[in-house]
Chains A and B, each alone.
Chain A
Amino acid sequence: DTGVSQDPRHKITKRGQNVTFRCDPISEHNRLYWYRQTLGQGPEFLTYFQNEAQLEKSRLLSDRFSAERPKGSFSTLEIQRTEQGDSAMYLCASSLGVREQFFGPGTRLTVL
């Protein structure tokens, strides 16, 4: 296991299109987190799962955003009807309970 992986690493899309990102956590980790990072800012929390249950969602997560972790393993983050303001780096992290969060390399989204 080489750590948290994310796919794709880069995504360019046109405004109004839907995009979906995938995160594969470290295999034994039961918690999975999504963050968003824009230029000049630190990562901002979006949502997190414990196993398949989504336990918390940020107010940043508008109705156009949805995240799933159907079997408690990988997770997907979907953005519908993308806007230019959605352009950012989307980071995934995983942890074993309350232990250290390990981050993935991120998916960079550019909305034209």
Chain B
Amino acid sequence: AQRVTQPEKLLSVFKGAPVELKCNYSYSGSPELFWYVQYSRQRLQLLLRHISRESIKGFTADLNKGETSFHLKKPFAQEEDSAMYYCALSQAGANSKLTFGKGITLSVRP
């Protein structure tokens, strides 16, 4: 069975502080990992996927297969980063069903 664990429900930081949103997964095959974000009153949208190896809005995430983790990081948080963040996985190359974690609320205070 595939599972995504986001151990924290809420992370509150001050503007300019570093952010790390944790994500661990279990999957028997070769996974593809994603971070989705949902800003207030907006729909769920893709933030980044591990195969693209991009930095989006200053966020990066590295897939660590040894630790089965895909933590999302940003060195300096901005108020506009406040949102709900979901980690998700699917079968590599298939992008069929996404399995999501429970999500974490990031609150960036001024």
Is A74 located at the chain interface by the 8 A CB criterion?
A: no
What count of chain B residues pass the 8 Å CB interface test? 19
> Could you tell me if B44 and A56 are in contact, using CB atoms closer than 8 angstroms?
no
Is B97 located at the chain interface by the 8 A CB criterion?
A: yes
Q: Tell me the B7-50 residues at the A interface (CB within 8 Å).
A: 43-46, 49
> Could you tell me if B99 and A106 are in contact, using CB atoms closer than 8 angstroms?
no
Interface of A is mostly: loop
Which chain B positions have C-beta within 8 A of A55?
96
CB contact between A43 and one of B49, B93, B96, B98 (< 8 Å): that residue? B98
- Interface size range of chain A in the complex: 20 to 34
Is A101 located at the chain interface by the 8 A CB criterion?
A: yes
Complex: how many Å from CA A24 to CA B97? 18
Nearest-CB residue, chain B, relative to A100: B46
Q: For residue B89, give the distance in angstroms from its CB to the closest CB of chain A.
A: 11
Complex: how many Å from CA A19 to CA B4? 31
> Could you tell me if B43 and A45 are in contact, using CB atoms closer than 8 angstroms?
no
> Could you tell me if B97 and A42 are in contact, using CB atoms closer than 8 angstroms?
no
Residues of B that sit less than 8 Å from A by CB: 4, 43-46, 49, 86, 88, 93-103
